[in-house]
């Protein structure tokens, strides 16, 4: 029974997730947070004058927050079929002086919901810390390659040139929106607070002999002791599951961004223009030894699809909560919300690993430009001929005929694009023969792409990352376990 390989393990934690995110959703974090909440409640109740809570009781609670006997708790839960009361019992055994006042006036959701909000906030902090590192690395990549012309694609068909760095800014812009959304969701998280069984605070009003002011003070004091500035002003037994929708929505949206970026890199890898890192001893295929499969980006796409669909769970859960509450949210939330955070964490770590090791092949990019640029440059040829006295319509017809001849060589004979050789050999174009090299310079086809990169990084990326400069400065290379 002790062999971990003898039973199913979620690959999210056993194979992919970072230690810090796995720890954030661990039993130690969850039940340790429950005990801290019970301690905060007792501290606040004593501070507001509630009798029967001794200093010794508080000392015992504080010193045993992380001293959790899971065997005792599990046995009690099996008997009582109630996880919160099982842990009340286990906590009372190691803090006997406090056994009679643990959970005083509270309902189960005081610990379960408030702990969830703490854990979700901490999870979002971890995700934001990783996201800003990805954005920072990608911004450096964009600046480094801002002047490198590359063939643009619309409909995945050759289009006008852009630059490798400019294309990267399209990815960064979406990631900046994800950062905005995640930060907003994180900052919008409040605390459920001390609300009682159906949200009326009746039990606490009874404890404080009808003193409404003290009940309100208790709510605010426990909120502040637990690290929040505000709590939700009203709730039923649980905080509204609409909060879970707001929390997961930016993660699902990020999943779409990550999938898009990873797909772009996979397409470019097929063209051999850009590749994700490939380690010296890495094997791409068990059969085809030469292969260099983009497995990291494929993993990002695979996990991002899972991340995007999890929003459906919280939407449906929020929609079917009856009146003050129903328990059909619990089992679903135990799976969907941790999995969303774990999956987003894995995607971000993998993205950072990819971006840190992106390989660009300028010669391949140059060759592809050479194969397509002659057709794109024909308008420049026409304009150059007109400036030297040529007739625009006649020039257009000459170019049309030569272009179709060159296209036939490419499509029907499998040859290289020889349009430029045909233009050079055509007496009609003699006036611009000496200008052809300049007219075909890729740098003249990229417009303001380099300037756009500089402006975007300076005016949009840098301000967005400024609050996270310490985290970015101390970041470590992203390592994948598999």
Q: How many CA atoms are closer than 13 Å to the CA of 210, on its beta-carbon side?
A: 0
Q: How many CA atoms are closer than 13 Å to the CA of 474, on its beta-carbon side?
A: 5
**Closest CA relative to residue 83, chosen from 352, 330, 441:** 330
**Closest CA relative to residue 457, chosen from 228, 169, 183:** 169
Place of tokens 């709590």: 231
| C-alpha–C-alpha distance, residues 293 and 262, integer Å | 13
| C-alpha–C-alpha distance, residues 204 and 212, integer Å | 9
- Residue 64: strand, helix, or coil: coil
Largest CA distance in the chain: 105
- Residue 223: strand, helix, or coil: helix
- Residue 359: strand, helix, or coil: strand
Q: Are 282 and 375 in contact (CB under 8 A)?
A: no
| C-alpha–C-alpha distance, residues 87 and 99, integer Å | 11
| C-alpha–C-alpha distance, residues 421 and 444, integer Å | 20
| C-alpha–C-alpha distance, residues 326 and 231, integer Å | 21
In the residue annotation, 155 being an active-site residue is answered as yes
What are the DSSP E strand ranges found in 357-466? 359-360
Residue 311: phi and psi, rounded to 5, are -60, -25
- Residue 240: strand, helix, or coil: coil
| C-alpha–C-alpha distance, residues 443 and 373, integer Å | 11
User: What kind and span of H or E run contains 48?
Assistant: none
Going by their DSSP bridges, the two strands 274-275 and 359-360 should be labelled as antiparallel
- Residue 6: strand, helix, or coil: helix
In the residue annotation, 82 being an active-site residue is answered as no
With a CB cutoff of 8 Å and minimum separation 6, the contacts of 381 are 395, 399, 423, 429, 432, 436, 439
Going by their DSSP bridges, the two strands 157-163 and 149-154 should be labelled as antiparallel
How big is the CA angle at 137 (ends 134 and 142), to the nearest 5 degrees? 120
Q: How far apart are the first and last CA of the chain?
A: 26
Residue of 285, 319, 469, 481 marked catalytic: 285
Residues known to be catalytic: 155, 285
């Amino acid at each position: 029974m002790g062999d971990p390989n003898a039973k199913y393990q979620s690959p999210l934690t056993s194979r992919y997730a970072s230690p810090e995110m796995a720890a954030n959703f661990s039993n130690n974090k969850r039940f340790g947070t429950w005990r801290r909440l019970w301690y905060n409640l007792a501290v606040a109740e004593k501070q507001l004058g509630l009798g029967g809570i001794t200093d010794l009781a508080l000392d015992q609670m504080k010193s045993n927050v992380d001293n959790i006997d899971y065997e005792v708790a599990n046995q009690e839960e099996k008997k009582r079929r109630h996880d919160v009361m099982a842990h009340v019992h286990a906590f009372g055994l190691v803090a006997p002086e406090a056994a009679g006042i643990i959970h005083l006036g509270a309902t189960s959701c005081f610990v379960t919901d408030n702990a969830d909000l703490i854990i979700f906030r901490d999870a979002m902090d971890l995700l934001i810390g990783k996201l800003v590192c990805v954005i920072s690395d990608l911004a450096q990549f964009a600046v480094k390659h801002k002047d490198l012309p590359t063939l643009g694609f619309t409909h995945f068909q050759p289009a006008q040139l852009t630059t490798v760095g400019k294309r990267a800014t399209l990815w960064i812009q979406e990631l900046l929106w994800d950062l905005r959304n995640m930060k907003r969701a994180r900052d919008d998280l409040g605390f459920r607070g001390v609300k009682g069984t159906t949200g009326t605070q009746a039990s606490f009003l009874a404890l404080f002999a009808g003193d409404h002011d003290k009940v309100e003070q208790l709510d605010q004091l426990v909120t502040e002791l637990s690290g929040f500035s505000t709590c939700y002003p009203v709730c039923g037994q649980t905080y509204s599951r609409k909060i879970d929708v707001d929390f997961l929505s930016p993660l699902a949206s990020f999943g779409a961004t990550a999938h898009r970026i990873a797909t772009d890199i996979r397409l470019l890898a097929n063209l051999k223009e850009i590749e994700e890192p490939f380690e010296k001893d890495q094997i791409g295929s068990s059969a085809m030894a030469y292969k260099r499969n983009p497995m990291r980006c494929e993993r990002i796409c695979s996990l991002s699809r899972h991340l995007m669909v999890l929003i459906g769970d919280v939407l449906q859960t929020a929609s079917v909560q009856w009146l003050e509450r129903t328990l059909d949210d619990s089992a679903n939330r135990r799976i969907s919300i941790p999995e969303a955070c774990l999956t987003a964490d894995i995607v971000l770590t993998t993205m950072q690993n990819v971006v840190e090791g992106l390989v660009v092949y300028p010669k391949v990019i140059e060759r592809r430009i050479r194969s397509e640029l002659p057709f794109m440059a024909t308008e420049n040829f026409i304009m150059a001929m007109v400036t030297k006295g040529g007739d625009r319509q006649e020039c257009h017809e000459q170019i049309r005929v030569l272009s179709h001849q060159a296209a036939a060589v490419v499509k029907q004979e499998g040859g290289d694009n020889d349009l430029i050789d045909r233009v050079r050999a055509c007496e009609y174009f003699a006036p611009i023969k000496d200008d052809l090299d300049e007219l075909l310079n890729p740098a003249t086809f990229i417009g303001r792409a380099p300037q756009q990169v500089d402006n975007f990084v300076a005016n949009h990326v840098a301000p967005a990352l400024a609050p996270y400069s310490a985290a970015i400065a101390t970041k470590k290379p992203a390592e994948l376990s598999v």
